[in-house]
Amino acid sequence: MPRLGLITIGQSPRPDLTTELAPPLPGVTFVERGVLNGLSSSEIASLHPSPDDPHDIPLTTRLLDGSSCIIGECAVVARMPALIKSLEDDEGVDCIMLACTGHFPPFPHRKPLFIPDHLISYGTAALIEGIGATTVGILSPLAEQMEHSGEKFAVGLKQEKEKDVKFVHAFCSPYTGTKERREEQFRKASRGLVDKGAQLIAMDCMGFTEEMRKVVAMEARVPVILARSVAARFAAEVLASMV
């Protein structure tokens, strides 16, 4: 039975995530790790992004008690290599998936490492060319991430295509507020993106769920790409070849 290491930037386990990853990955055992596992609330608070470092991008994640927090990308980068090594050496996983679409530097690894940031940005680029889209909506979980997201998604475009594509932005947290309040926020964000001309929407956070994707798709009436399902289906192709 294949074993997939899953690293969340918050605390594990994450049944809200693995429940949706499981259907396209039948027979796969999830071995979870969390960047914030074992840390106290004060220790987590100390990992807040530095206002003096433009590279310390804010990232939002979920904790064991169901609440959310914001930490800096630098804290994740510092802790990730040890988690990858532990999954490879101690758990003997076949592959590893990062449960975050943040834009990280390369991490050392021996087993296949799935980076959702790459998968959704290059997958979206392929769809942009496939449907001839000129305006692309990017839905981020935090307002602070919006200014960086266009650069990430442009990387996958062919150079001659890049100048013809405009990225428009909105944000909506997958973690805060009631379910009803979140749904209304997703509808509002979707309408805003379509009003700006979006011909497809990329939901750029592993915390966004299939239910949230359906809300966005129903409101926007354009193709919607969900990071967690893209990552799961890509991993399924690789893991199926290992059986």
Percent of the chain clearing pLDDT 90 (strictly above)? 88
188-237 pLDDT, tens digit each? 999 999 999 999 999 999 999 999 999 999 999 999 999 999 999 999 99
CB 227 within 8 A of CB 208: yes
Assess whether the previous peptide bond of 2 is cis (omega < 30° from 0): no
pLDDT at res. 124: 94
Q: Which residues pair with 5 in a beta bridge?
A: 31, 96
Type of residue at 34: G
pLDDT at res. 149: 86
Asked whether residue 115 carries a pLDDT value surpassing 90, the answer given is yes
pLDDT band at 54 (very low <50, low <70, confident <90, very high): confident
- The helix or strand, by DSSP H or E, that contains position 77, with its residue range, turns out to be helix 73-89
pLDDT at res. 160: 56
Residue 155 has φ and ψ, to the nearest 5°, of: -60, -35
d(CA 200, CA 221): 9
pLDDT band at 44 (very low <50, low <70, confident <90, very high): very high
**Choice between 242 and 95, residue whose per-residue pLDDT is larger:** 95
Average confidence (pLDDT) over 150-175:
85
Got the DSSP string for 9-58? SS-S--HHHHHHHSTTSTTPEEEEEETTTT--HHHHHTTSPPTT-TTS-E
pLDDT at res. 157: 81
Asked whether residue 48 carries a pLDDT value surpassing 90, the answer given is yes
Asked whether residue 29 carries a pLDDT value surpassing 80, the answer given is yes
Average confidence (pLDDT) over 24-30:
95
Asked whether residue 174 carries a pLDDT value surpassing 80, the answer given is yes
Q: Residue 58: which of 177, 146, 138 has the closest Cα?
A: 146
Lowest-confidence segment of 46-50, 51-55, 107-111 by average pLDDT: 51-55
